Chain A
Amino acid sequence: MEEKQLISELKNGNQPAFKLLIELFGCKVFNICLNLLQSNEDAEDISQEVFVSIFQSINQFKEESKLSTWIYRIAVTKSLDHIRMKKRKKRFAFFQLISNNDYGETKVDIGHFDHPGVKLENKERSKILFKAIDTLPENQKSAFVLHKIEDLSYREIAEILATSLSSVESLIFRAKKNLRKTLLEYYEKNEK
């Protein structure tokens, strides 16, 4: 089915068209969410929200960009929103801890993300890498993940993030620089 026809069917609320949409884009959306959120459960939840959001707002899609660009943009936005929400909860829990003088067990994020797509021999390295990626600012993280892991071109990333090509180049350059710095600190700390 051609993209224009698919969009038209989706706007008409055609159920088989939505099923086809999930088949075409489900995997990519899930992987984008997985790589940004670094959690299988969160990736499943947010992937569901992405497709529900597409279903609810397909009539507002102006077709100024490709359907895939629009879908991936929703996936990135929802993933980053979820990360922000989790950080807010952590901050709130921290303040509660201080105010209650409760020194019981707290959940500590130790960044041990075991990516299901990583080969066995690379597991340890990928855990270190994802921990480092998690320290990047949002825009650098998105650009780096979309380029290096999702293998999207700079142009595609610029369209998804609604920014310029030069901004994407700059984001990825800074992301690599920051990753090297973080990894260097880790290397020196663990070498001692």
Chain B
Amino acid sequence: MKSKDNWIESIINTTVEINTVKMPFDLSKKITEKINGFNAGVLIINPKIKWSMAAAIALLISLNTIIILQYKKSVSENKLETSTFQKKYFDYTEQF
């Protein structure tokens, strides 16, 4: 029991033997660059967000294209129907 408690205490006390880690040099450089970028008005976007934004924009453009094509198709179908209807109407009225 005592050895168990001693072991547990020694593990928890490991925390006091952890040294402060130096910040990686290139990290402070990256942060400075990001902040300079903000100052210069450059929009810094997280690369993960960049890809999702690109995907969302591509999807919107595709949807837009589909909607426009469908609209054009329905307009041309309507025109065809109208001209077919007109023809039938004139044929009908000609009888009289």
**A interface residues, Cβ below 8 angstroms from B:** 13, 15, 18-19, 22-23, 26-27, 29-31, 34-35, 44, 47-48, 51-52, 55-56, 115-119, 122, 125-126, 128-129, 132, 148-149, 176, 179-180, 183-184, 187
Asked if A15 and B35 make an inter-chain contact with CB atoms under 8 angstroms apart, the answer reads: yes
**B interface residues, Cβ below 8 angstroms from A:** 4, 7-8, 10-12, 14-24, 27-28, 30-32, 34-36, 38-39
Contact check: which of B4, B14, B27 meets A187 at CB < 8 Å? Answer: B4
Asked if A31 and B39 make an inter-chain contact with CB atoms under 8 angstroms apart, the answer reads: no
Distance of A128 Cα from B15 Cα, bound (Å)? 11
Contact check: which of B10, B15, B28 meets A23 at CB < 8 Å? Answer: B28
Asked if A116 and B21 make an inter-chain contact with CB atoms under 8 angstroms apart, the answer reads: yes
Distance of A122 Cα from B14 Cα, bound (Å)? 7
**Which 9 A/B pairs are nearest by Cβ-Cβ distance?**
A117-B19, A148-B15, A30-B23, A117-B21, A26-B23, A183-B8, A51-B31, A27-B23, A125-B14
Contacts of A179 in B (CB 8 A): 12
Min CB distance A181 to B, Å, is 9
Asked if A125 and B10 make an inter-chain contact with CB atoms under 8 angstroms apart, the answer reads: yes
Distance of A86 Cα from B81 Cα, bound (Å)? 57
Asked if B12 and A55 make an inter-chain contact with CB atoms under 8 angstroms apart, the answer reads: no
Asked if A115 and B31 make an inter-chain contact with CB atoms under 8 angstroms apart, the answer reads: no
Asked if A184 and B19 make an inter-chain contact with CB atoms under 8 angstroms apart, the answer reads: no
Asked if A129 and B17 make an inter-chain contact with CB atoms under 8 angstroms apart, the answer reads: no
